[in-house]
Amino acid sequence: MSIQQLKKWILKFFSIDDTPHHIAGGAAVGFFLGITPGEGILATIVTTSILRFNRTAGIAGVLATNMWMTVVTLPLAAAVGGALFGVDSKSLINQFDQSYQLGWQHILSKVLLMDVALPLLTGFVIVAGIISLAFYFILLTLLIRHKIKVN
């Protein structure tokens, strides 16, 4: 994607015909579901529709953060989840990496679900919530300023 295409995409995003709250809310939902493992475009469309946020902004948010942001936030999610559950974050990441070698028969085991998945998912939800909330307020401010300049 060239710089010119990126500028055009950003301009289109700020030109969405909706309220700043609905656009920022849709994007924040997209960011949240993009960071949280396992969620994607379909979950974003359903969630933004239920919450009556802008679906286009939600899809843009989930596409901007989908898989790469999950990898980037894994250490932070492990630290938060590990702190809440009293588990070392490095140990949690190592157990998560080792779970791939166990195969599908162990996917629903108590050890994997309670000792690894629950702390990690809790960490991801908290981290994704904080990042999404921050981006909501940043986008809301930018959208309000842009709407004022246009008018």
pLDDT tens per residue across span 43-81: 999 999 999 999 889 988 898 887 778 778 989 999 999
The Cβ-side half-sphere exposure at 38, using a 13 Å CA radius, reads: 5
pLDDT (tens digit, 9 = 90+) per residue, 18-35?
888 999 999 999 999 998
The label of the residue with tokens 């974003």 reads 44
Q: Give the containing element (helix H, strand E) for 24.
A: helix 20-35
Q: Where are the domains of the chain?
A: 3-150
Mean pLDDT of the chain: 83
Q: CB–CB of 93/78 below 8 Å?
A: yes
Question: Which pLDDT score, from 0 to 100, does residue 26 have?
Answer: 93
Angstrom distance (rounded) from CA 53 to CA 28: 10
